Structure 1
């Protein structure tokens, strides 16, 4: 082959290489054995808004974040001295002045065992880093919720089974089912909120919704309040079936709620009112169910709980503080 043909082939090969390097979405570059960068693809200049003159040699340091640059230089210098592959995620400043994370991979180019150059790529991993941060946040949130759930289960088990009675296992199982039900409601809303009407209807379903008169405003509550409210409603329903109005053929329960938005802290005002049941009186000894009704929302949400035992039927009123962001 003639020298001219060889030169033409080399020119064509280089032209093809440039076309390939400029077509990829990554930033790409090449350096001498000592790390001096002598070539960048067009993507690099487009992203950084720089010129070849500004970037020649070690000029690339100007688009690196000053907080990360020392660590990056330490690792890059080590790779050059030992002829090792380099990989690291660090931010690069764009033409808009914003820093974005890039995965940088640098491979040594060898001929006969000796390093004759380096070629590197920088890949924008902004979305991947955001996904990783979101995943880490979800893991922490899941860990927190699992711990809270286990603490709730432990408390339910401790009090439900402290004094074994004929129905202790049934009570414990039903409380766990109620806890699982509110978790289902929250899962459908991605654990951001729960609708009060859905919590009420879920709690009263085992006792037959036809025995209830339900009415209230459209309002959402946060997961912490939702879990406490659901467990409280479950205990109210259980007590109504076992001892209250729903233990009689014609007994009924009215559940009503409204929002008091005029107070400094908006409140959910919920009333549970029973009628048509057998005569009732305040219990001489409060069981776990009644203690749960009086204390769960108070401790978890700072709610005010008032229970009464008038002759017409049991009555429970709740005033639950709400954040403005949960009002619908």
Structure 2
């Protein structure tokens, strides 16, 4: 990710001086001499660097084999000041000036400059030269090395460009972006983070980030974060983060691990998304939904009450009124399922699994003399998330059955069968005993369209209708995980 990097390249000349070599035990002369020791020659020629030696006045009298292999030159062409022919003409005056200064002062030399290879390509080399002195401290020889650093410099430049692009990208994102080391140490936050929190740059590195969380959310956030670090599982949490205004806003925090080829985590990349407005809107929608549901249920209660006080007092009429009032009350209970629910209005805890939900939804359409519907098959656990789309569909099927289908006739009935096939739950609604179906309806109503969209979009399911002459058959297939 993005790190603070030193402004000076790791291969640029250092500010310290290399120490001169004292040659008290070596016969010092200014005459050129070529090393004739076989071991020395073997070592020098095998070194990965280009090596050379010069007299005290800078006249180079020996190069190792690496130099000639790289430059494609001969010892005769390079002797003395011939090395200038493989230097970049634009850089050569500066090199000469620095080299002359070292010769005059007897101080070590270190510089970065390009040298032309045998292929005609200039590559940058880090050159270091140290003097060899005698007992009197006089320079009697210079020893130099040239180490190619072109690939390293190119890699560093590419990394800097990549990091600069990444910095621009993350700062341009509308989300807060952060990253950590494998152990969870936060080492980067983008500009959006500092704009949102208003904290000083770098103050939330390490573990400082937890200080801008709401006190009631800190322990929970730490617990989930530690769990992700220990298991490598994705991190996701909603918490309140202190805005620069001092107000705490709801945030959705997510993080994923970055792994190397061996599967080891090398970094965590995370985002923080401001969901405060959405969360408040959802809470408001939940409140309005509960209020509307309450008012609708009151209407059902008023209707049932009006039936009770308006019915004749004879036993037969009273029994009929009681039956109708009971159906209206059951319809009111079934209405609970046909609306969105939040954590505060969960409704399934008292109805068991799918069969309990279906029975509650079908209760208003039952008959005192005989059961108008049958529920069979495997009972499956369901959650509140799937209650509304299922209720919309079943309620729409039952309503249409009362208007046009099996439940419009006293002899008609509905069979609901539930089965599990692999990872999918299949619900089959089958009508029989009602009016004969003449064909597929020309158009479908809004209720049918809404219930179909709910099943397909919200639950990822599928609906298939068969308009059989003896009655409608509807097959609903839903991924079990979505229930």
State which structure, 1 or 2, has the greater radius of gyration over its C-alpha atoms: 2
* TM-score normalised to structure 1 length: 0.49
The higher relative CO (CA closer than 8 Å, separation ≥ 6) is in 1
Scaled by the length of structure 2, the TM-score of the pair is 0.35
Which structure carries more helix by proportion? 1
